[in-house]
Amino acid sequence: MASGDNREAEINPSEVVASPFQSFLNDLHLKYQSLRDGKVATYIPELAKANPDLFGICAISLDGRVFEVGDCHQLFTIQSISKVFVYGMVLEDRGRDYVLSKVGVEPTGDAFNAIVLDERSKRPYNPMVNAGAIATTSLIKGAGPTERLNRMLDMFRRYIGHSDIFIDISVFMSERTTGHRNRAMAHLMHHFGMIDEKIDEAIDLYFQQCSLMVNCHDLAVMAATLANNGINPITGEQALDSSYVKDILSVMYTCGMYNFAGEWAYKVGLPAKSGVSGGIIVVVPNQIGIAVFSPLLDERGNSVRGVKVCEELSRHFGLHMFDLAMGRCKVVEMLSNPKKL
Ligand code: DON
């Protein structure tokens, strides 16, 4: 199953706010719905079944206001977006210095699945590419595979804010039986002492984290939690020690969009992370969390409509970090005056 059941029944329409910001999202959705560029991911066979028409945009402010349009309650697998949150968990589990000794923080300019380690240190370059994410996952603490999986699911529950989460077993098995590149990287990293001998367990846990089912609304809550310094704005629960939020946002900013990270930083200017199911999360620190879902991908594995939507949102509302820093962000003003947003 490439995308799961609809959690439509859970939506409370009164949570969706009508406003100028909402109108802008509606217009963006209308504008890009007809854009058919890109292809759904096929290298994981189950993902080839994704519906290319699906398209949702959701933004959640730190006071819990929800702005959404399109397919925001359609479930799909989180894929690489999970890497952000597992990185945070491992920073808490092991501390910054230890994690840094096993996984670097350098952008690669290579594809997300490149079989490459830093020549000198033998570390994977960063926690956002597959090699770095597998190494990160191998650092999750727990007495055995079940405890590590349960701790990881608990962590995701804190960000998502409800307990109705599960793993898509078909996507997990599909990746588990075809993910030879990832397996090869894990063995290479074990050879260089970057991951321990529990290679198959680490790989399974990595495939499980990638197969977690989420919808666009869930992703926006997760992004808003990072924007809110690690506190879920809907539940008020602390999902992550606030002192690690900056670490996560930094690697999202420099590495989250892979070999598009430089152009993304230039045009959109915000910490973000994409996944091959078509999700993108974007964090506007201290302001808002944004998620876009559309399975049609460009050649780097980023959602085509997702990138377009984020570029326009950033340009229109002055969301770029340096617009934000220079006081040119319109959302800051709008957020402080709810009637305007
Ligand atoms: O390991 C993989 O290849 C996938 N589970 C995740 C890749 C991914 O989402 C890359 N993102 N654009």
Q: Determine whether 83 is an active site residue.
A: yes
Written as one letter, the residue type at 23 is S
User: Can you give the pLDDT at residue 13?
Assistant: 45
**CA 260, CA 271: separation in Å to the nearest integer?**
13
pLDDT the model gives residue 283: 98
**206 annotated active-site:** yes
User: Among 78, 80, 212, which is best to mutate for testing ligand 1, by the most ligand atoms less than 8 A from CB?
Assistant: 80
What are the residues facing 70 on neighbouring strands? 56
231 pairs with which residues across the strands? 238
Whether 11 has a pLDDT exceeding 80, the answer reads: no
pLDDT digits (tens, 9 = 90+) for 278-315: 999 999 999 999 999 999 999 999 999 999 999 999 99
* CA gap 126, 183 in Å, rounded: 17
Per-residue pLDDT tens over the stretch 203-214: 999 999 999 999
The pLDDT score that the predictor gives to residue 86 is 98
pLDDT of 338 reads 66
Residue 335 confidence class, pLDDT cut points 50, 70, 90: confident
pTM of the model as a whole: 0.94
Residue 17 is classified by DSSP as P
Average pLDDT (246-270) is 96
Atom of ligand 1 nearest to the CA of 297: 12
| The one catalytic residue among 61, 80, 294, 303 | 80
pLDDT of residue 12: 52
Pairing of strands 213-214, 288-293: unpaired
Q: What residue ranges line ligand 1, CB within 6 angstroms?
A: 79-80, 112-113, 130, 175, 182, 210, 274-276, 301
Q: How far is the CA of 275 from the centre of ligand 1 (A)?
A: 6
Q: What is the pLDDT of residue 83?
A: 98
Taking phi first (over 0 means left), then psi (-120 to 50 degrees means alpha), and beta for anything else, what does residue 267 get?
A: alpha
Q: Whose CA is nearest to atom 12 of ligand 1?
A: 275
pLDDT digits (tens, 9 = 90+) for 311-325: 999 999 999 999 999
Check whether 330 has a pLDDT greater than 90.
no
Given pLDDT bands bounded at 50, 70 and 90, which one contains residue 4?
Answer: very low
- Residue-wise pLDDT for 133-192, tens only, equals 999 999 999 999 999 999 999 999 999 999 999 999 999 999 999 999 999 999 999 999
Q: How far is CA 4 from CA 50, 167, 188, in A?
A: 10, 10, 34
Q: Is 80 a catalytic residue?
A: yes
Percent of the chain with pLDDT over 70: 94
pLDDT of residue 15: 53
Q: Give the CA-trace dihedral at 253, 256, 260, 261, to 10 degrees.
A: 20
% of the chain with per-residue pLDDT over 90: 89
Instruction: List, for residues 42-60, the tens digit of each pLDDT value.
Output: 999 999 999 999 999 999 9
CA of 63 to the centre of ligand 1 (A): 32
Question: What is the DSSP code string of 205-225?
Answer: HHHHHHTBEE-HHHHHHHHHH
- Check pLDDT > 90 for residue 33: yes
Element containing residue 249 per DSSP (H, E): helix 245-255
Q: Among 4-8, 18-22, 76-80, 240-244, which is the least confidently predicted range?
A: 4-8
Which pLDDT does position 329 carry in this prediction? 87
CA 85 – ligand 1 centroid, Å: 14
pLDDT at residue 273, as a whole number: 98
User: With contact defined as beta carbons under 8 Å apart, do 122 and 194 qualify?
Assistant: yes
pLDDT score for 332: 75
Cα(210) to centroid(ligand 1), Å: 7
